Amino acid sequence: MSTQTSRTTTDAVPSQREHGSPHHGQHTAPAGASLPRAVLSEWTKLRSLRSTWWTLVIALGLAVGFAALLAAVVSNPDAQQPQGGPGAGGLADPVGIALASSTFSTLVLGVLGALVVAGEYATGSISSSLMALPRRWPLVVAKTAVLVGLLVPFTLVLSLASLWVASLIYGDAATVDWASSDTWLAVLGNCAYLVAVALLGLGLGLLFRTTAAAITVLAAIVFVAPPLLGLVTWDWVVAINDHLPGVAGSSLASTTGGTLGTGEAWLTLLGWAAVPVLAGALVLQRRDA
Amino acid sequence: MIEAQHLVKRYGAKTAVDDLSFTVSPGHVTGFLGPNGAGKSTTMRMVVGLDRPTSGSVTVNGKPYAEHRTPLAEVGTLLEAKAVHKGRSAHDHLLALAQSQGIGRRRVAEVIDLVGLHDVARKRAGGFSLGMGQRLGIASALLGDPATIILDEPVNGLDPDGVLWIRTLLRGLAAEGRTVFVSSHLMSEMALTAERLVIVGRGRLLADTTVDDLISSASDRPVVVHSPQAGELGRLLVSAGATVTDVEVGELLVTGTTAARIGEVAAERGIVLHELHTERASLEQVYMALTRDSREYTTDEPATGARAGAQDGAAQQQEVAA
């Protein structure tokens, strides 16, 4: 193709221009951006990634697997149980022990939360998302809504499956009282803990924008901080350590209570879930994409 | 329609865009041209609200981008290749974008066909070639059937088929009466695609003009002379104050005088001329001259003769076509 012919073609275009119309298709005008549409769009994004489903499979597998393991260990009559073991009255908190298996899944779901945002920064698709929703905050609301909408039923299944598997393995060592409201409150508390950590991941993803940074901080808060802070006896450090998400989670996911009272534990989880997301939304609103 | 008024973008001490005002009107392909680092991408990102101007303002179709109710139906944008999640299929990427604005599923299928990605639409975009990624980007840009289309370096890294496809597509979109604003650092590519040019260097406006006006603005166009007595003619012209380059035996490239004057000199001495014509300045030369001071990384190139410059231009065009 020679340069000369192409120039000629360019020159020929203006004569056709007057006959064109600005819109070539016969489409009805799109309805416009709205919050429900943003939620639908985010749901399409989340469900269309294999990593979403792998993450859920891994979280479920880990929770149920560790529930079985913990149940087997505590119900083994030969084992030396320092506390909570099968003594005269059986296990003190069989529900709490079974649900403690979820701890390993929190990190997995936190990573899912982080990926919802940081994955977009990593691939550059965040610019597509922000050009579709230039007001930006609806993007955060939609991502939050979709993550919560997916994880509330999922963590319910995860918690019940863990508890059920554990109850089968306890055998004579303990029984899970399915009729007790305490059992169901513990299950709900466990769900809240898992969802809160996922939202913490989402907030950290918004704040740090890279998967590596978000996951590192998430792991530090969920796994690394508790044993390290536990070594320090200053009052304010103890206070912080008592209000980490894991402590609040285990206080709720139990039939015998924990470090924090019920109300304080719920508020603590709410804080870990909401504050980073809100801060992240503010930062997103102000920062160049 | 894009209207930028006194746009400024500073990053710390560095000014990326410096008091840039221009208007891009419908019905043409408008080239946004400048050396790498001239602020083209930053400007485009400010147009679609991704980056916030330090000062100044920009509107698209009469409003700031973020105030449009259905932004994707107003402005279609291709910023960088593959602004797509690698794990998501082309279809799902487009569907999610469409759903956010209430654009129907049928339109998703339509743009997939339009860009020729039908066979791979359900495959993960991470496995796409650069050309396929670019086609997907174009599909995203056209999804909302927008009146304004903004493309940042759309032909970068594409094979000749892809380059030709984009060139034809852009001209077609402009012919339909849309505003088409497309950046490039290659004058040769813009010369083939655009009618109007907004040229920037170091974030400042260098020219807001048409391709034709730009060419005719070029001064001191060289004259090509073919003569069996080229040596003698050359000496005469030099003594008359012109600059003469021997291109090859029997061919001279003369600057600093006119074709008429060369003809007169030859006639006075009875020198035979086989050819005498004034060269049309190549856009590449004009562009290089315009942006010489604003290129971020300049090689110490000697002031090349006009013919050499023209050959450079031709070589670059071949590069694009190759």
- Give residue-wise pLDDT tens across range A241-283: 999 999 999 999 999 888 899 999 999 999 999 999 999 999 9
Instruction: Flag if A132 and B97 touch (Cβ within 8 Å).
Output: yes
Instruction: Flag if A22 and B26 touch (Cβ within 8 Å).
Output: yes
Q: Is residue A20 part of a domain?
A: no
What average pLDDT does range B224-249 have in this prediction? 88
Q: What is the pLDDT of residues B116-169, one digit of tens each?
A: 999 999 999 989 988 888 899 999 999 999 999 999 999 887 888 889 999 999
Chain B closest CA to A155's CA: distance in Å?
24
Question: Which pLDDT band, with edges at 50, 70 and 90, does B241 fall under?
Answer: confident
B97: which chain A residues are within 8 Å (Cβ-Cβ)? 41, 128, 132
**Chain centroid, CA A110 distance in Å:** 4
| Rg, chain A, Cα only | 25
Tokens for A232, please give them. Answer: 């320090």
Tell me which chain B residue has its CA closest to the CA of residue A52.
B87
Handedness of CA A214, A218, A224, A230 (dihedral sign): positive
Chain B closest CA to A285's CA: distance in Å?
10
Chain B closest CA to A214's CA: distance in Å?
18
Instruction: Flag if B70 and A134 touch (Cβ within 8 Å).
Output: no
SS3 label, residue B219: coil
Spatial distance between the Cα atoms of B26 and B178, rounded to a whole number of angstroms: 5
Instruction: Flag if A134 and B69 touch (Cβ within 8 Å).
Output: no
Q: Is residue A216 part of a domain?
A: yes
Q: Is residue A44 part of a domain?
A: yes
- A to B CB pairs, distance under 8 Å: 158
A214 Cβ contact partners less than 8 Å away, ≥ 6 residues apart: A114, A117, A118, A201, A204, A205, A207, A208
Spatial distance between the Cα atoms of B162 and B181, rounded to a whole number of angstroms: 18
Question: Which pLDDT band, with edges at 50, 70 and 90, does B298 fall under?
Answer: low
Residues in B 164-203 with any Cβ partner in A closer than 8 A: 164, 167, 171, 174-178, 191-193, 195
Comparing A26-35, A181-190, A203-212, B224-233, the range with the smallest average pLDDT is A26-35
Q: Is residue A158 part of a domain?
A: yes
Mutate to test the interface with A, among B14, B85, B214, B280 (most CBs of A within 10 A): B85
Spatial distance between the Cα atoms of A259 and A250, rounded to a whole number of angstroms: 8
DSSP characters over B79-130: -STT-S-TTSBHHHHHHHHHHHHT--HHHHHHHHHHTT-GGGTTSBGGG--H
Indicate whether B299 pLDDT > 60: no
Of A3, A48, A133, nearest to B89 by CB-CB distance is: A48
Q: Can you state the angle between helices B130-142 and B105-114, rounded to 10 degrees? A: 140
At residue B183, the pLDDT reads 94
Instruction: Flag if B86 and A123 touch (Cβ within 8 Å).
Output: yes
Q: Calculate ∠ Cα B40-B41-B47, nearest 5°.
A: 95
Tell me which chain A residue has its CA closest to the CA of residue B103.
A30
What average pLDDT does range A16-24 have in this prediction? 39
Indicate whether A117 pLDDT > 90: yes
Q: Is residue A21 part of a domain?
A: no
Contact B44, B20 (CB under 8 A): no
Instruction: Flag if B70 and A29 touch (Cβ within 8 Å).
Output: yes
* DSSP assigned state of A256: S
- Cβ burial of B255 (10 Å; 0-12, 13-18, 19+) is middle
Sheet strands side by side (includes B14-24): B14-24, B2-11, B55-60
Chain A closest CA to B321's CA: distance in Å?
8
Bigger pLDDT: A174 vs B78: B78
Tokens for A47, please give them. Answer: 């469900």
At residue B255, the pLDDT reads 83
B113 Cβ contact partners less than 8 Å away, ≥ 6 residues apart: none
B282 Cβ contact partners less than 8 Å away, ≥ 6 residues apart: B309, B310, B313, B314
Of B177, B191, B195, nearest to A22 by CB-CB distance is: B177
Spatial distance between the Cα atoms of B197 and B211, rounded to a whole number of angstroms: 6
At residue A251, the pLDDT reads 93
Of A9, A48, A131, nearest to B88 by CB-CB distance is: A48
Question: Which pLDDT band, with edges at 50, 70 and 90, does B297 fall under?
Answer: low
Structural domains in chain B plus CATH codes:
2-216 (3.40.50.300), 223-278 (3.30.70)
At residue A207, the pLDDT reads 97
Instruction: Flag if B174 and A17 touch (Cβ within 8 Å).
Output: yes
Spatial distance between the Cα atoms of B47 and B35, rounded to a whole number of angstroms: 19
The residue among A197, A186, A196, A199 whose CA lies nearest residue A253 is: A186
At residue B303, the pLDDT reads 43
Indicate whether A73 pLDDT > 70: yes
Mutate to test the interface with A, among B43, B89, B100 (most CBs of A within 10 A): B100
Tell me which chain A residue has its CA closest to the CA of residue B65.
A134
Instruction: Flag if A120 and B167 touch (Cβ within 8 Å).
Output: no
Instruction: Flag if B101 and A7 touch (Cβ within 8 Å).
Output: no
Tell me which chain A residue has its CA closest to the CA of residue B140.
A128
φ and ψ at A171, to 5 degrees?
A: 60, -125
| Complex ipTM | 0.85
Bigger pLDDT: A114 vs B155: A114
Chain A closest CA to B22's CA: distance in Å?
22
At residue A16, the pLDDT reads 36
Neighbours of B74 (CB within 10 A): 20
Instruction: Flag if B70 and A50 touch (Cβ within 8 Å).
Output: no
At residue A26, the pLDDT reads 47
At residue B81, the pLDDT reads 57
B144: which chain A residues are within 8 Å (Cβ-Cβ)? 30
Tokens for A244, please give them. Answer: 């980490």
Comparing A256-260, A265-269, B16-20, B95-99, the range with the smallest average pLDDT is A256-260
Instruction: Flag if A127 and B171 touch (Cβ within 8 Å).
Output: no
Residues in B 47-106 with any Cβ partner in A closer than 8 A: 48-52, 65-66, 68-73, 75, 77, 79-80, 82-89, 92-93, 95-97, 99-104
**Amino acid present at A220:** A
φ and ψ at B14, to 5 degrees?
A: -90, 130
Contact A280, A206 (CB under 8 A): yes
What average pLDDT does range A152-172 have in this prediction? 95
Contact B233, B202 (CB under 8 A): no
Which residues constitute the domain of residue A141?
Answer: 35-77+90-286
Residues in B 15-34 with any Cβ partner in A closer than 8 A: 26-27
Q: A221 to each of A62, A247, B5, how far by Cα in Å?
A: 20, 11, 47
Instruction: Flag if A288 and B85 touch (Cβ within 8 Å).
Output: no
Tell me which chain A residue has its CA closest to the CA of residue B89.
A48
Q: Which residues pair with B248 in a beta bridge?
A: B251
Of A25, A30, A50, nearest to B87 by CB-CB distance is: A50
At residue A82, the pLDDT reads 52
Number of domains observed in the structure of chain A: 1
At residue B206, the pLDDT reads 92
**Chain centroid, CA B106 distance in Å:** 33
Indicate whether A217 pLDDT > 80: yes
Q: A183 to each of A83, A221, A248, B106, how far by Cα in Å?
A: 20, 27, 17, 49
Chain A closest CA to B66's CA: distance in Å?
5
Contact B143, B107 (CB under 8 A): yes
**Amino acid present at B3:** E
Q: What is the pLDDT of residues A74-104, one digit of tens each?
A: 887 665 555 544 444 467 889 999 999 998 8
At residue B289, the pLDDT reads 78
Tell me which chain A residue has its CA closest to the CA of residue B212.
A11
